[in-house]
Structure 1
Amino acid sequence: MNWNSWSEFFSMGGYGFYVWGSYLVSFMCIAGEIWILLNRQRTLQQYLGQRRIKYEREKE
């Protein structure tokens, strides 16, 4: 396709809402997945740290 202006590019021949909406939803899903993974990693590190402290106390 050949666009003569930025507004034509963003409107995508009348399908811009669907195209850019799809990009937005995809980006939000990927960002959400990254956030969930980082949260799980942080929770696991806290749990393992607590277990290590408990193990070291029992060892003494």
Structure 2
Amino acid sequence: MQLRYSFRLYPNGPQRSALAQAFGCARVVYNDALRARETARAAGEAFPRTGDLSKLLITEAKQ
């Protein structure tokens, strides 16, 4: 049996800013990973594996 729930959240001010920051960070990481894959494809290389891509993006973010 499958259940389905529908609900809506109404975050307050600090929760809104925390959610906006988290979604913003996720968007930046996604776009960086997409750019790395497109660069690899344009260069004729194999797609970077997920682990290698994580290491690359974390290293770039720390710099």
Which range, TM-score by smaller chain? 0.5 to 0.7
Whose relative contact order is higher, 1 or 2, with alpha carbons under 8 Å and at least 6 apart? Answer: 2
One of 10, 16, 20 as aligned partner of 1:25: 20
Say how many residue pairs are matched.
Answer: 35
One of 38, 46, 54 as aligned partner of 2:41: 46
Larger radius of gyration: 1
Structure 1, unaligned stretches of length 5 or more? Answer: 1-15, 51-60
Distance 2:42 2:25 in 1: 26
**How far apart are 1:24 and its partner, in Å?**
0.1
TM, length-normalised to structure 2 = 0.52
Percentage of identical aligned residues: 17
Structure 2, unaligned stretches of length 5 or more? Answer: 1-10, 46-63
TM, length-normalised to structure 1 = 0.54
Q: Report the aligned-residue RMSD.
A: 1.5
